Structure 1
Amino acid sequence: MDKLFPKLPLDQWVETLVRYLWKQAGGGFDLIKMFISGWVDFLAFLFMGLPDWAMILVFSLLAWLLSKRSVAIFTFIGLSLVSNLGYWANTMQTLALVLTAALISIILGIPTGIMCARKKAVRDVVMPVLDFMQTMPAFVYLIPAIFFFGIGEVPGVIASVIFAMPPTIRLTNLGIRQVPVELVEAADSFGSTAAQKLLKVQLPLAKPTIMAGVNQCIMLSLSMVVIASMIGAKGLGADVYRAVTQIKIGKGFEAGLAIVILAIMLDRVTQHIGNHKKNKGERV
C-alpha cells in the first residue's frame, strides 16, 4: 500500500548534521579525545601505581572515612577477592572509565540543574532533551561517538556521559526547588546575593537530593561498561563480552562478580556522602 505522504529523509538529515559538525569542529573533537584519553590513562596509572594489597588498604581506608566500618570491611574483602581472581588490572581500568564519565556528567549536570531550577525557560527546554536522552537506546549513542572519536575508550566514556547525565540534572533541579520558600525569603531579607543564597542556603539543603543524582549517575556509568566494551573500551566489560562470545560461563560469572563488587562499593560510599549526619563510630 502506497504511503499517503513520502518518507521524511530523517536519516539523511542526521547524517548531514553529523558530517557538518565533524567538518566544522573536527579539531575540537580531537582535543576532547586527547583530554579524556589522557585523564583515563592517568587515573588507571594512579590506581595501579601501587601493589594490589596497598591499593586495597587505601580504598578500604577511604571507604571507612567517607562512609562507615561495614562498607570498609566489604571493600577490603571484595577487592581482595577481585585481586585473587586475577581481575585487578581490569577492575582498576573500569573504575577509571566510570569515574571519568561520572566526573564529566557531574561537572556538566549540576550547573545545568541549577540553571533549570532558577529559570523556567531553561527548564522547559532541557527537560524534553533529558527525556530523549533517557529513552533513546544506549547502543544508538555509540554510532555518532564512534564517528567523532573512533574506536576505544573515549566513545565509551562519551556514550556513558550522555546516558548517565540526566539523573544528575533532574535531581539537582528537584533538590533546589524543594528548598523551603521561607528559608529563601529569609536569605533575601538579609540582603544575600544570588550567589550567597545558592551557596549557603540552597545547595547545602539540596545536598542529599543532589548526591542521590550523583549516585545514580555513577551506577548508570557502570552499567555502560559492557556496552562500551563492544567498541573497544578496556576493563571488565571486555571480559564479560569475551565470555559471552566464547560461551565461557565461569569467566563471565567472575567478571560479572567483579563489576557487582565495584558497583556496591561505589553505591554505598556515595550514599553516605549525601547524608547530613554521619556517625563514624557506628557499629556494624
Structure 2
Amino acid sequence: MKLILCQPAIQRFEWELEVCLTNLQSVGFGMKDVVLLFTVNDYKVPETLASKYGVEVHTYTDKRSDRQYIPSVKPWLWWQYLAEDPEREKEDYFYFDSDVIFRKRPDFRKLKAKSDRWLCSNTLSYISVDYIKQCEHGEEILKRMADIVGVTVASLETINHNSGGAQWLISHPSAEYWRKVYADSNRLWQYLQTVDSNIQKWTAEMWSQLWNMMYFNIGPVISDELDFCWATDPVKRWNETKIMHNAGVTGDMHDLFFKGKYTDRVPFGEDLSFVDKLKCSYKYAQAIKAVK
C-alpha cells in the first residue's frame, strides 16, 4: 500500500508536508511508502522533501486547461501519475491531504479496499444527498450536478449513507477515472458559481470523486477507522478518532492555529502558546513543534 498526497509545490504545502511527514513517521508509517505528487512551481520543494524524508516525489508541469478551481489539481495529478505508468493502476493507495495528522495508525486489517469497493471517512454532514437537498434550491441543484457527472439522482440516493470523502483507501484506480473526476470537478465548480444557494461550493471536487465512483461502478463504504476530528473540535474528539484534519479555523479565531497566516512563511519557531489546549488545534500546534 502506498500513501499518496497531491498538491502544488509551493511554500504553504512544503511546511504542511513537513508537519505531516514528521507525524507519519512518529506513528509508524514507512517513508518509502509515501508518494508525493506536485505541479511544478518551486523545484526546491520536492527536492528538499525527497532528500530530508526519503519519500518518492513526482512533479508535473501544470497543463490544466482551467486553473481557477484550486482543488482540481488533485485529480489532475492522479491522472498524470497513473497515465504515466499503467502498473500503478494495480496498487492500493491511502489518499489524504497534507493538512492531516494522526493520533495513531489506523488498523489496516479493518480497511480492506477492493477494486469495486473503496473505503472513506464520514463526511455525511457536508457531502450527502440529504445535505444538498436541505440547501436553498437543493433539489434542483442536485439534479443538475448529477447530470454534469452523468449519474442519476436515484443512484446517488443508494450511497446517501456512504457519502464519504477526505481520507480514502483506494484499490486499483484507473487514469480514466481520475481524468473524469478532474474534468467534472471544474464543471461542477463552474456550475455552482452560477447558483444562488448556501451550498458549500468549495467541495465540488469531493462530489466529483464520490459520484464518479457510481459512474465507474465502485461502491463507497464509510469506515469508523477513518473517522476524523477538526481543528475546531473539543480535544476529547482527538482521543475518539485516529485522524485530525487541520481545517475549520478562520482568521478571527485568535485562540487557534490559523494556517492561512502561513501562505508565504513557515510556522516553525513561532510562539504558539496562545493555542487553546482544550481544542484539537493544540494537537496540531504540537505536531508543528515536533518538526526538526
Q: TM-score range, shorter-chain basis?
A: under 0.3
Considering fraction of residues, name the structure with more helix: 1
Higher relative contact order (Cα pairs below 8 Å, separated by 6+ residues)? 1
Considering fraction of residues, name the structure with more strand: 2
